[in-house]
Structure 1
């Protein structure tokens, strides 16, 4: 479009037309400036593209007055102005065309620049759009791929869950088959063996499959199919196994019936044989009961004799105590002096008894015999004689017996070898004064009632403390002594008694004790007829055999060995029956001793025994 066409278009525009004048002239921009009346869109465009043109958009107004409204006078007045205006308009037209051409060129350049900018912006926008579209397509493809992968993953998980559930169902079914048949691993039925083997194979397969599933690998369809086939085989084997088991049970029932019939016949024969044996045993028991009855009668007779002997010993002691009442209890100075002198004259020699030399024991024995004979002796710096008082001899014998027993209770209990010199001196006194021997046995029986073996029953009128005192126990401040102390005291006095049984008087070495081997045999045999007392009985038997066993076996020879065999075979059983585990110490010691002497057929002499060579010292 050329310039004239643009001006024509502008002239015909309903929105406005060009208006020019000198009002817009500014310093430095020339004598005049062009003032155009344009539309709002063109105004904005010119404002952006021109810097020396003032664009004003105003409504188009025709400044020419209408002809009919002008008066002649006004026309005359206006006419110069109109002419001037026409001249100016002509001049201005030429100037405005030049300016318009410049503006048109400027507008064209601006439009070309704008078009170039638009084309550049469009090209750049198209490239970015293409890149964005490619990025969007790529993102879309990625989202589609993710959806596809997610759907595939869900499908796999669903399939794996279904396979795991199927595996569990198969495991339950196999467990149910196992519970239904209950096959033992050591079954002898072939079908059951096959069933058990297949069952173990399937269980191992399922276990390994479950292990893989726990680690993240679900069971495969092929593996599940194989397990299903195995399950079908297992059910078929279960049916066959049940049938085989039924047949086997029928066979067993038949065999059991035959066995029961056979056992019934055997039982009848055994019952007949047992009946014959019972009849024979009954006869044997009757015979044994008769023998035991006779033995009890004999034992009762012996016990009766022993009881009478003990009563006589106790009565002799009581008579002696009553006879010595004046000397024992009177408080007159002279009586007290005689009593004290006799006690000192008895105690000092007894305390000096030892196994140092035979001459030493003979000297002590001679001093004691001199005292009892009524001679005046010196003891502790005092002149002593039993003849100074009518009861002096009985009192001296009673105190001498008590002192010997006291030494056995204390000294021998601690030093076992002390029993032999004490027994030798006691036998020497006993040889000259038999009354002393009876008092010695009575004193022993009082403190150790087991030197005369008999059953000490508790009377209905006795208290428990009185009964324990009769058994030989001591009380200190109404407190019963300990069992260990009691056994130790009884052991000491039993060893003294056993030493007296085999001792020889120092003055008559060719003679035996007046209370000799026969009383030892009676003690052991009668003890075996009594019910044993736990701990006490094996202790006393051991002490007796260790002290007197060697002399007894030399005296009685084979008969004494038979008595020891009876002790081992029969009496040991009775001791075990009444002893608990805490009371087996003394029995074990006795058992070891008896086994040794029976195996070697020799009882060694006890430590401290007085030999013939001792008496020559």
Structure 2
């Protein structure tokens, strides 16, 4: 809008808001024959003329609001509107007419725009339809061209495949010709290799025959009738003979293969050479052992005879003398600080025997040979597995466990892990197995019995039966027990000059490692387990053994141990603990065996020993 038009609108708005602007104007009042009279308040009053032809006409525009004018009869002498009001009324009418024209022009313009828009859309649709038709024609041409290209490409590929097939056919013919030539060359080479293999096989066969002849000659040296073996122990000679026969069997198996028309292979020759080497080593070991076998056999016979004589003595007299001797010693010189000389000599002899046994299988335990290591592991597993299976709930299984241990110690084959194992696998196998079984029995007392006191009896009854059939194992059990628990001798080792505290604690039986020394409760628990095992061994006997033979380590040794403990000065904690454990396990058996003598010993313990 122009500025003048804006001012005009502002003027009209101001007039409308003025008192006179609220005057209702009807442009059709003259058509109805009405006359407007100016009132005293400045408001037009519509007065109906008496001569009006229509009484139903009303004043007011449909866009205006307000009250319906009241028509009153006016005198014919009233004057018309003033020129100013007429001018204003004319302006209003002119303005309204102008607005109607503008609205009509806007409607015509809008209608024209819509028509133009419809025409534009129709033209665009027509153009789009043309483009779509062109696009469809283009796609049809492209598809036709694609089909032609596809046919051309397939034709070219077909021709290419035919060329490839021809080339592949020519290549295969070339390869076949090459293979025929190579097969001919291979046949020539194989014929040459076969001649060479035959020559080498005949040479290996001659060497194998020489090895067999030599190993059979060496095996004759193991015959019991030869002067070399006459001083060897029966068990040792049996192990040597068994091992020699095994080595001969290994060579014989290789020779049997050649009897079927085959030449011995390189691996067969290695087996035969290794068997010959082992046979030479076996003969050398046997000769070395034969030098000292006679003296050892004589010494062992004397020890066995002495053991039988001691076992045949009446137990009551020996024990009565031991009790009286203990009482006399206590009265004569009071309590001792160490065991008597005979007991210490017995202890040292057992430790010497233990060391000699360990040295006897040094070659087996420290060998780096894979086959020897395998034999050692199988023997150790077979020896320790049955011992570990002993438990308070074994029951009828104890007989089977005992038989496995007895068979192994007797040189018979024993099943373990699906394999047949025997001490004859190695000349030192028997000593190795005996050492490991004895060590495992003591270890069970140290660990299993210490945690479960009831386990002492099944372990002890099996150990007693093995001790009865194999006295050497019993001595090793006792030596291991004395080594781990010196109080089972009984012996309280003194501290020597220059000895450190840790060294002295190790001698006393404490476990000492990098972290320090075990606590007193753990130490007493282990010692208690081993004493309980010892107390169970001296009173039990294998029920399925020979009743005619004396008990190898019976109650008389338990009586000796108890009497010597009471003859020695008590040590804090350890003496009271071991006495309690020993009497709890073995007390009932001692009462039945010694009766009044035992009660005298208990009275001595109560009245004289405990106060100290």
TM bucket (normalised to shorter chain) is 0.3 to 0.5
TM-score of the two chains, using structure 2 as the length reference: 0.45
Higher relative contact order (CA 8 A, sep 6+): 2
